[in-house]
């Protein structure tokens, strides 16, 4: 899981590649490197351990110059982060340079073969075999050599390749890992995603598996591995050039939290316009007959997207009355699920490239399920293998911690469940009207919640130094608790656990003491009274408590408060409140998400953490 970028044209490649790599850092950031072909036909390479900023610094003391270059930001899989293991990797003669995203599964076997043939390796990476394979096959035609080399590989990859002996060319190829080619005037680009080169161009080719792109400054040729031409429409990137920049916010995560009112609006547009009209979901690609004959819906995803899937499961059973399951993608295949006729698998992913999710999708398809995906990034690997795709329309999400994508995933799953309920005729017109009306108000409610940011910040200031947190929820807000805890732990490194409040007495209550704070989701609905009980239990054990509750609730702030308690005992303090506008319980995960995102953000910011690039994490996990 890494990011690659490349430039061929008339401008200086290092600057353009560095800027692109900066936008790809979410894919990995333990080391980085660049290779250019110099004006006198040599390959010149710079590599560092660390982030793109470190590479930029190195280039100040040891500049690179050339109008053809490839760059890489790495997230180590084979071989520790080191200069030797950083990309670009070179052939023995130093004339061919390769950058790679993915994993070459048969690299050991290839390496032994190449070593036996006399090739010398300088790194522990799987990638280096590709540089040597191309060297082995190169006879003056770089593209032909790349195609031959790719035939020897097993695994997932996207490569960018340059060769000092073919100085007017760059070759790129992919299988299972994302790759786009950007189109300019007298200059062209390659990148792992569109965001990396959006500043330079809005016209791209999205490369498919086993397709090869030959780039010169003036043209791009697409072929298959047998060099048969491939016809591909130019995709015009629908978002503006500055959409991938921070736009005045301190972090991308903050910007993305604040984009939610507009993003919610965009997600609803064309799908829900009137509480008395049916939901329109043409991209779902399911006939009424198919929807009526559904026997089971299986949700699968990883991380935050899985939490959205848990909300989807709840809605599908509650609203559409279809038996539903939700599995972590990495676990689904392991349990070898029984797939009945008319089973629908709903795959959820922001990136559309998560390897575990892709594997789960393939397994469910093989077992006979129809697969619909709920995605953000357009034309991803998951999109291409799905029977239907519903895009959440969030725009690029750069912060490693998913925020707006989560909110829109839930919103989209609300729309799908309502659509199923409508088509199957299992929900009353009143219920449909009430829920649709609430969803239509979501952009405005999201803005109201953002306007309360200073209140959330004040609560974060009170708690950010505590080492432990417990997030509790029930029913449709159990996933909100799991997601709130994930957000807190991944960016602030506060140890946070999400639990069903019903499980409290079966273990987690043992953790309650003054240094462990609890976030209890206690909005009105079927489980409200039970949440009151949990809050009392926590306060009785001197546990500090933050509650997420509906505006105007007078009970929760004082629930469990003991006026006789010692003034230093939190049992005597009123609860801290994250207020949310009241909405029907079935849509409340959308509103509850926002203050929990802000709480995690401000706690992490106060702790001075790297919010957009938390340690050990990458935005897109393209390896299992």
Q: Which segments of 138-273 does DSSP mark as H helices, in order?
A: 142-151, 194-197, 252-258, 260-268
The beta strands (E) that lie in 129-179 are given as: 155-163, 170-175
Query: Does residue 620 bind ligand M6R (CB under 6 A)?
Result: yes
Choose between 217 and 399: whose C-beta lies nearer to ligand M6R.
399
Of the two residues 85 and 354, which places its CB atom closer to ligand M6R in the complex? 354
**Catalytic residue list contains 516:** no
Least Cα distance to 86 among 122, 57, 135, 56 occurs for 122
Surface-to-core class of residue 359, CB atoms within 10 Å of its CB (0-12 exposed, 13-18 middle, 19+ buried) = middle
Note whether 354 binds ligand M6R by CB under 6 A.
Answer: yes
Residue 490 touching ligand M6R (CB under 6 A): yes
**Residue number with CB closer to ligand M6R (243 or 328):** 328
**Closest to ligand M6R by CB, 143 or 602:** 602
Looking at the DSSP assignment, which residues form a beta bridge with residue 519?
A: 471, 546
Of 165-173, 309-317, 363-371, 613-621, which segment contacts ligand M6R by CB under 6 A? Answer: 613-621
The H or E element containing residue 405 is: helix 404-424
Q: Examine residue 492 and tell whether it contacts ligand M6R (CB under 6 A).
A: no
How would you list the strands of the sheet with 155-163, edge to edge? Answer: 89-90, 96-104, 155-163, 170-175, 211-215, 220-224
Stretch that binds ligand M6R, among 150-158, 282-290, 398-406, 561-569 (CB under 6 A): 398-406
Separation CA 362–CA 356 (nearest Å): 10
Provide the minimum distance between the beta carbon of 350 and ligand M6R in the complex, in angstroms, as a whole number.
3
Q: How far apart are CA 138 and CA 145, in angstroms?
A: 5
- The span of 10-18, 20-28, 349-357, 590-598 binding ligand M6R (CB under 6 A) equals 349-357
Task: Round to whole Å and give the CA distance between 456 and 95.
Answer: 56
Give φ, ψ of 370 to 5 degrees.
-80, 140
Nearer to ligand M6R (CB atom), residue 145 or residue 411: 411
Q: In the bound complex, what is the minimum distance in angstroms from residue 570's beta carbon to ligand M6R?
A: 30
Asked whether the beta carbons of 523 and 586 are under 8 A apart, the reply is no
- Region from 28-36, 112-120, 121-129, 395-403 binding ligand M6R, contact rule CB under 6 A: 395-403
Question: With respect to ligand M6R, which residue has the nearer C-beta, 220 or 358?
Answer: 358
Told to check if 349 binds ligand M6R by CB under 6 A, we report: yes
Pairing relationship of beta strands 68-74 and 468-473 according to DSSP bridges: unpaired
Closest separation in Å from C-beta 488 to ligand M6R: 11
Residue 425 backbone phi and psi in degrees, to 5:
65, 35
User: Is 177 in contact with 158 (CB distance < 8 Å)?
Assistant: yes
Residue 101 binds to ligand M6R (criterion: CB under 6 A): no
CA distance 549 to 579: 5
**Residue of this chain nearest to ligand M6R (CB atom):** 303
Q: Which tokens belong to 465? A: 């130094």
Minimum distance, C-beta of residue 405 to ligand M6R, in the bound complex (Å)? 6
545 scored as a contact of ligand M6R (CB under 6 A): no
- Residue 402 interacting with ligand M6R (CB under 6 A): yes
In whole angstroms, the minimum distance from the beta carbon of 309 to ligand M6R comes to 10
> At closest approach, how far in Å is the CB of 392 from ligand M6R?
10
Q: Tell me the Cα Rg of the chain.
A: 26
Which residue of 401, 417, 522, 556 would you call a contact of ligand M6R, by CB under 6 A?
401
Pick between residue 8 and residue 598 the one whose CB is nearest to ligand M6R: 598
Local structure of residue 549 (DSSP, 8 states): E
Those residues whose C-beta lies under 8 Å from the C-beta of residue 548, and which sit 6 or more positions away, are 480, 519, 520, 521, 522, 523, 578, 580, 592, 595, 596
147 classed as catalytic: no
Give the C-alpha separation, 28 to 23, whole Å. 11
Residue choice 4, 162, 522, 621 for contact with ligand M6R (CB under 6 A): 621
First to last CA, the chain: 10
CB of 271 to ligand M6R, least distance (A): 21
Considering the complex, state which of residue 577 and residue 618 has its C-beta at the smaller distance from ligand M6R: 618
Residue linked to tokens 């709903």: 346
- What whole-number distance in Å separates Cα of residue 117 and Cα of residue 440? 66
C-beta closer to ligand M6R: residue 381 or 588: 381
Compare residues 406 and 420 and give the one whose CB is closer to ligand M6R. Answer: 406
Cα–Cα distances in Å, from 491 out to 240, 534, 599? 28, 27, 11
Q: Among 31, 166, 351, 477, indicate the residue that binds ligand M6R (CB under 6 A).
A: 351
- Minimum distance between the CB of residue 377 and ligand M6R, rounded to whole angstroms? 8
Q: For residues 372 and 345, is the Cβ–Cβ distance under 8 A?
A: yes
Torsional sign, CA 524, 529, 534, 536: positive
Q: Could you tell me the smallest distance in angstroms from the CB atom of residue 272 to ligand M6R?
A: 23
- Among 123, 169, 177, 357, the residue binding ligand M6R under the rule CB under 6 A is 357
Residues 202-261 that bind ligand M6R (CB under 6 A): none
Contacts of residue 553, Cβ cutoff 8 Å, sequence gap at least 6: 522, 524
What is the nearest approach in angstroms of ligand M6R to the Cβ of residue 375? 8
Least CB distance from residue 185 to ligand M6R, whole Å?
33
> Does 315 participate in binding ligand M6R (rule CB under 6 A)?
no
CA atoms within 13 A on the CB side of 294: 27
Q: How far apart are CA 411 and CA 360, in angstroms?
A: 23
Name the one range near ligand M6R by CB under 6 A: 231-239, 346-354, 466-474, 583-591: 346-354
User: Which residue lies nearer to ligand M6R by CB, 127 or 304?
Assistant: 304
Q: Which of residues 291-310 bind ligand M6R (CB under 6 A)?
A: 302-305
User: Number of residues in contact with ligand M6R, rule: CB under 6 A?
Assistant: 16
Which is catalytic among the residues 2, 17, 147, 302? 2
Of these residues, 47, 255, 436, 619, which one is catalytic?
Answer: 619
**In this chain, which stretch among 253-261, 280-288, 312-320, 394-402 interacts with ligand M6R, using CB under 6 A?**
394-402
Binding-site ranges for ligand M6R (CB under 6 A): 302-305, 349-351, 354, 357, 400-402, 490, 617, 620-621
Active centre residues (catalytic): 2, 619
């Amino acid at each position: 899981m890494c990011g690659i970028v490349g430039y061929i044209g008339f401008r200086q490649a290092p600057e353009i590649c560095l800027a692109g790599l900066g936008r790809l850092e979410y894919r990995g950031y333990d080391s980085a490197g660049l290779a250019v072909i110099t004006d006198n036909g040599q390959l010149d390479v710079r590599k560092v351990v660390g982030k793109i900023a470190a590479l930029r610094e190195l280039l100040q003391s040891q500049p690179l110059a050339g109008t053809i270059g490839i760059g890489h930001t790495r997230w180590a899989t084979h071989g520790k982060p080191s200069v030797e293991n950083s990309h670009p990797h070179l052939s023995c003669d130093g004339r061919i340079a390769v950058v790679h995203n993915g994993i070459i599964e048969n690299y050991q076997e290839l390496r032994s073969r190449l070593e036996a043939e006399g090739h010398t390796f300088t790194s522990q990476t799987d990638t280096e075999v590709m540089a040597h394979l191309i060297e082995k096959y190169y006879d003056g035609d770089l593209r032909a050599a790349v195609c031959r080399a790719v035939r020897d590989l097993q695994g997932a990859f996207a490569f960018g390749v340059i060769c000092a002996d073919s100085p007017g060319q760059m070759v790129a190829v992919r299988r299972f890992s994302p790759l786009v080619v950007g189109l300019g005037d007298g200059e062209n680009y390659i990148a792992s995603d569109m965001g990396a080169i959006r500043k330079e161009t809005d016209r791209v080719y999205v490369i498919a598996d086993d397709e090869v792109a030959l780039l010169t400054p003036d043209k791009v040729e697409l072929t298959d591995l047998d060099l048969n031409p491939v016809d591909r429409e130019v995709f015009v990137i629908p978002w503006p050039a500055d959409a991938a920049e921070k736009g005045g916010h301190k972090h991308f995560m903050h910007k993305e939290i604040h984009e939610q009112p507009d993003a919610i609006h965009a997600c609803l547009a064309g799908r829900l316009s009137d509480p008395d009209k049916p939901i329109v979901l043409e991209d779902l690609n399911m006939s009424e007959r198919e929807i009526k004959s559904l026997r089971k819906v299986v949700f699968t995803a990883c991380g935050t997207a899985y939490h959205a899937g848990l909300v989807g499961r709840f809605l599908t059973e509650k609203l559409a009355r279809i038996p539903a399951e939700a599995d972590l993608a990495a676990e689904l295949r392991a349990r070898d699920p029984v797939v009945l006729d008319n089973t629908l698998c709903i795959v959820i992913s922001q990136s559309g490239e998560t390897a575990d999710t892709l594997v789960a999708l393939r397994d469910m398809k093989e077992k006979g399920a129809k697969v619909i995906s709920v995605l953000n990034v357009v034309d991803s690997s998951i999109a291409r293998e799905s029977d239907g795709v519903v895009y959440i329309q969030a725009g690029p999400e750069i912060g490693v911690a998913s925020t707006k994508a989560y909110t829109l995933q839930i919103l989209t799953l609300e729309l799908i469940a309502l659509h199923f309920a409508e088509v199957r005729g299992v929900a009353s017109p009143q219920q449909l009207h009430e829920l649709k009306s609430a969803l239509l108000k979501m952009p405005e409610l999201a803005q109201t919640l953002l306007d309360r940011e200073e209140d959330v910040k004040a609560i974060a200031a009170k708690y950010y130094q505590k080492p432990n947190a417990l997030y509790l929820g029930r029913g449709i807000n159990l996933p909100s608790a799991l997601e709130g805890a994930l957000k807190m732990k991944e960016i602030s490194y506060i140890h946070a656990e999400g639990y069903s409040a019903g499980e409290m007495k079966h273990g987690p209550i043992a953790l309650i003491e003054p240094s462990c704070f609890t976030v209890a989701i206690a909005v009105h609905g079927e489980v409200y009274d039970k949440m009151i009980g949990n809050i009392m239990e926590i306060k009785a054990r001197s546990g500090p408590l933050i509650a997420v509750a509906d505006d105007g609730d007078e009970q929760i702030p004082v629930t469990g408060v003991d006026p006789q308690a010692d003034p230093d005992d939190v049992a005597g303090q009123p609860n801290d409140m994250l207020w949310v506008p009241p909405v029907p319980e079935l849509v409340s995960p959308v509103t509850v998400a926002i203050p929990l995102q802000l709480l995690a953000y401000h706690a992490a910011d106060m702790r001075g953490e790297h919010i957009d690039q938390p340690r050990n994490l990458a935005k897109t996990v393209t390896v299992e």
